[in-house]
Structure 1
């Protein structure tokens, strides 16, 4: 099931969305690490115990992937989402471990209609990934491009 279609006009600075419930398993941590980030603390619990992590931890890039999946499943409408020109900030704040349950919290910071393309605009947002203890494990400041419902000439204000 796709998220509801949210157009540029539906976003207001200060809005907060919370969603997701993603259980992280040791198997998927190791599988991802083998392919994309084969550092010892992502591949083996014993190797992770020899580091400041104290055990097996997910790659930060995998955590970013978990975040993206939650955004697609719960917030980014296929009708209105137009991609992103990038992130302004990405921080990995706490390790993600097997058994963690992750969710996302998105706070809308700014909404701007494009001057050159009034049929779309950008949303500046902070996205936090939280674990089951309500600890922020990752945060981003990013920009999303979103289709507008009305052109600038036809929209109020």
Structure 2
């Protein structure tokens, strides 16, 4: 289990890959982002992207799944108070294999609650060609290590 004290600015890790399927792009879009370029090949060809692309929110969800599987699921995470920045830089297409690079930007112990601290992360989502498709600056809360008995 990793606690707040186990994270230092500059720490980095890689998670993934996750291959995005055509079927899941369409299923996510139908439920959460029903724009033509997310719903069908034809709708994608009619737009500026030249084909079907994943919703940015789908890409962000994949990013967070990889982070939970590779980092947060093994840490004393208390959730997140929000994001400072989210950018979609390139479209994600069916068959893309996405990986996430995480970097600790800063760590700040809580002044009012001694049992926790805040960590600012930078996430970069890359496709199989190494192209950055999404970046995010996220804030997370973590428990501090319990005192030894």
Q: In the alignment, is residue 97 of structure 1 matched against residue 83 of structure 2? A: no
Who is 2:53 aligned against? 57
What secondary structure is seen at the aligned counterpart in 1 of 2:80? coil
CA distance in 1 between counterparts of 2:49 and 2:73 reads 37
Q: Which 4+ residue blocks in structure 1 deviate beyond 3 angstroms?
A: none
CA displacement at 1:77 relative to structure 2: 3.1
Calculate the aligned-residue CA RMSD, in Å: 1.3
Deviation of residue 19 (structure 1)? Answer: 1.0
SS in 1 for 2:23: helix
Say whether the 8 Å CA contact 2:2–2:74 is kept in structure 1: no
Q: Which residue of 1 aligns with 2:39?
A: 43
What is the TM-score of this pair, normalised by structure 2?
0.95
Task: Name the structure 2 match of 1:132.
Answer: 128
Greater strand share, structure number:
2
Distance 1:72 1:18 in 2: 12
Q: Are the counterparts in 2 of residues 130 and 137 from structure 1 also a CA contact under 8 Å?
A: yes
Equivalenced residue count is 148
SS in 1 for 2:77: coil
Gap runs ≥5 in structure 2? none
Gap runs ≥5 in structure 1: none
Residue of structure 1 equivalent to 2:23: 27
Looking at structure 2, the residues matched to 67 and 77 of structure 1 have their Cα atoms a distance apart, in angstroms, of 14
Do the aligned partners of 1:11 and 1:111 also contact (CA within 8 Å) in 2?
yes
- Return the offset for 1:50: 1.6
